[in-house]
A and B are shown apart, each in its own frame.
Chain A
């Protein structure tokens, strides 16, 4: 029963929260959507913390996504010992990098007094969940070899079954506690996105690459005609 709640109920709940919550927050509470950068108050430690953490975590997530989308490729790639070695080692290295990053970030929050005034309770929650996520991931990679193989062969079918709305939790129920924890914190993180500063990654400014540099906004564009949406019949006034 508890498994059904955690591995079927939770993922659907957090996905719902993530999608609806993010849309509502960005549309209706735009003022609250920000990365809440604290670089202005402390820059030197952030350089190492933020760069390490972000580069590590982005590559790790990318690895998980590739495994999810192309499990056959990953399995084929890892049948070759060299391929297995490359994937396991690089994944472990990136995880270590992001662990170092998050540890620097956490210690920075603790020891730089100035940052207390910009640290909210939800920020602390995010730090705890993220650190747990990275540490459990590392422990799994260390203890339960070879993660890349059984992730592609066992976990991906479970995730796919969730996506197909025919959840099959036979595999996940038989996993060790460590793996279960890793999965649960991952779902929690997704659910936390709209309620924390993690919202910043939903609004990552990709479109900037195509935007022209100068941006001019007319309050009242004289060149465009505003047409009345009024539904009554008859001739409606046009104004610009």
Chain B
């Protein structure tokens, strides 16, 4: 057993209002640079929709992630020999047109245009060529189902939804969507790391953050193909790949990543999980229907005496173990079974979990009216407007039972709280819900509390980085004495 610690996240989709504050906070800090303008390390997609880059979930196009081969797994489009043949030209790599061509507006011309008979205008200018462009697409072009014939209807996850359900999803009166904020999952079995021929992409041992060494990256571009979530990006100007770094400088100083800190809906939770690194390959290679169970199994119980002892022996700090015990992610994922990984079939064992969106559940009725009687307060889960199958394609490898159970659990918490606060609900309904989900009043209250009430410190339980020991990362303290303050600063511009 090789116990390591990993920063993991939970996004509560019911609370996401699609305001894109996370994306903008991230952009302002990290990707507002030449060559990075098109990158959104964090982005919020409207689902159904084709996403960013367009149709990223369709691995028939992008060939990302792992695939099962016999008892093991292999990278779909990279790997030791397969990868090295693709260095000269990689046929599976997305180009700028799959994202969008970044632009700015020529605001200067509003002030400096010579006098004429026309109003001066601020034309859009490409940030790549500097020439005026016709904007064809941009970030969130399909926000809130805009341009649905082109975007929402081409959602990859609709492939096995019946024509009737599909039609219902797009009828004006019954239209439904939810938001899907996405960022790097900092996977346990990252495909980007495995695909990088230079060894530039690596997982940080201490907290499992996946990073790209800008010094070692040689622009072979295989990480971009390999990441099935398309969360590594190529900086066309510097010739280096870049990705979300989970704001590690912030994490190390006990601050939540910018996207999470700024989240208006407070949908984001961050905490530490202990996991068994010896099991990664075995679990990533299991059958598709076992994937989620196995993945949940890889995370260890931080309260177990035996686990604690082994973790300490493996060099995990006591403060990290304590953080793991308080981790909101552990509660959502393991204790309550409310959060599921996105597209577990990519086999990267992602560390970003989603609580699927429950509402609105009032669904289609045969005579075209909505069921809204008080005895069936929130409608029937099987009749949701967003078909269960669709949610299952996103979060549970197509298993509708699993997603239905999660929705039922969310519903149970609502029934219970309705009973406590308004008390217009039959006790029998609440009791049935409890017995079906295995919850009780205590658990339901805890879920309610963590979902709605808790403040910063409970949503983000960040393990201390022990900066006081940081110098030991580089140097023996004995050698370090008397060396402080000397060093050189290397430039980061392109030399030739």
A239 and B93 form a contact (CB under 8 A): no
Q: Among the interface residues B90, B203, B218, B469, which one has the most CB atoms of the partner chain A within 10 A?
A: B218
B476 and A116 form a contact (CB under 8 A): no
Contacts A31-B490, A37-B219 given; indicate if A114 touches B193 (C-beta within 8 A).
no
Interface flag for B376 (CB, 8 Å): no
A41 and B91 form a contact (CB under 8 A): no
Q: Which residues of B contact A116 (CB under 8 A)?
A: 129
**Chain B proximity mask over A38-57: 1 for CB below 8 Å, otherwise 0:** 11111100110011001100
Instruction: Choose among A120, A205, A236 the residue that contacts B197 (Cβ–Cβ < 8 A).
Output: A205
Interface flag for B468 (CB, 8 Å): no
A36 and B219 form a contact (CB under 8 A): yes
A239 and B239 form a contact (CB under 8 A): no
Give residues of chain A (172-209) contacting chain B, Cβ–Cβ below 8 Å.
195-197, 200, 203-205, 207-209
**Chain A proximity mask over B445-478: 1 for CB below 8 Å, otherwise 0:** 0000000000000000000000001101101111
**Chain A proximity mask over B235-260: 1 for CB below 8 Å, otherwise 0:** 01111100000000000000000000
A208 and B475 form a contact (CB under 8 A): no
B193 and A31 form a contact (CB under 8 A): no
B198 and A205 form a contact (CB under 8 A): yes
Give residues of chain B (92-135) contacting chain A, Cβ–Cβ below 8 Å.
93, 95-96, 128-131
Q: Which residues of A contact B88 (CB under 8 A)?
A: 50-51, 54-55
Taking residues whose C-beta sits less than 8 angstroms from the other chain, chain B's interface range is: 35 or more
Q: Main SS of the interface on chain A?
A: loop
B236 and A218 form a contact (CB under 8 A): no
A36 and B472 alpha carbons, distance in the complex (Å) = 35
B203 and A216 form a contact (CB under 8 A): yes
Closest residue of chain B to A121 (Cβ to Cβ) is B496
CB distance from A206 to the nearest CB of B (A): 8
A214 and B206 form a contact (CB under 8 A): no
Interface flag for B71 (CB, 8 Å): no
Interface flag for B215 (CB, 8 Å): yes
A205 and B220 form a contact (CB under 8 A): yes
Interface flag for B279 (CB, 8 Å): no
Interface flag for A154 (CB, 8 Å): no
A195 and B206 form a contact (CB under 8 A): no
A221 and B199 alpha carbons, distance in the complex (Å) = 19
Interface flag for B81 (CB, 8 Å): yes
Q: Which residues of A contact B216 (CB under 8 A)?
A: 30
Q: Which residues of B contact A240 (CB under 8 A)?
A: 472
A43 and B225 alpha carbons, distance in the complex (Å) = 14
A47 and B91 form a contact (CB under 8 A): yes
Interface flag for A237 (CB, 8 Å): yes
Interface flag for B441 (CB, 8 Å): no
Contacts A42-B95, A208-B80 given; indicate if A236 touches B478 (C-beta within 8 A).
yes
CB distance from B481 to the nearest CB of A (A): 8
A37 and B198 alpha carbons, distance in the complex (Å) = 15
**Chain B proximity mask over A61-96: 1 for CB below 8 Å, otherwise 0:** 000000000000000000000000000000000000
Interface flag for B301 (CB, 8 Å): no
Contacts A32-B496, A196-B496 given; indicate if A229 touches B206 (C-beta within 8 A).
no
Taking residues whose C-beta sits less than 8 angstroms from the other chain, chain A's interface range is: 35 or more
Interface flag for A28 (CB, 8 Å): yes
Interface flag for A166 (CB, 8 Å): no
Closest residue of chain A to B83 (Cβ to Cβ) is A208
A240 and B478 alpha carbons, distance in the complex (Å) = 11
A203 and B206 alpha carbons, distance in the complex (Å) = 29
Interface flag for A15 (CB, 8 Å): no
A33 and B495 alpha carbons, distance in the complex (Å) = 9
Interface flag for A160 (CB, 8 Å): no
Interface flag for B190 (CB, 8 Å): yes
Instruction: Choose among B79, B87, B204, B490 the residue that contacts A29 (Cβ–Cβ < 8 A).
Output: B490
**Chain B proximity mask over A205-235: 1 for CB below 8 Å, otherwise 0:** 1011101011111111111001111100000
Q: Which residues of A contact B400 (CB under 8 A)?
A: none
Closest residue of chain B to A237 (Cβ to Cβ) is B478
Closest residue of chain A to B91 (Cβ to Cβ) is A47
A203 and B197 alpha carbons, distance in the complex (Å) = 10
Contacts A40-B96, A41-B236, A214-B280 given; indicate if A31 touches B218 (C-beta within 8 A).
no
Chain B residues packing against A (C-beta within 8 Å): 75, 79-81, 83-84, 87-91, 93, 95-96, 128-131, 189-190, 193-194, 196-199, 201-206, 214-221, 234, 236-240, 280, 314-315, 469-470, 472-473, 475-479, 490, 492-496
Q: A43-B89, A117-B128, A216-B205 are in contact. List 6 more A-B contacts (CB 8 A).
A: A34-B240, A120-B494, A200-B218, A208-B84, A215-B196, A215-B199
Chain A residues packing against B (C-beta within 8 Å): 25, 28-43, 46-47, 50-51, 54-55, 113-114, 116-118, 120, 122, 195-197, 200, 203-205, 207-209, 211, 213-223, 226-230, 236-237, 239-240
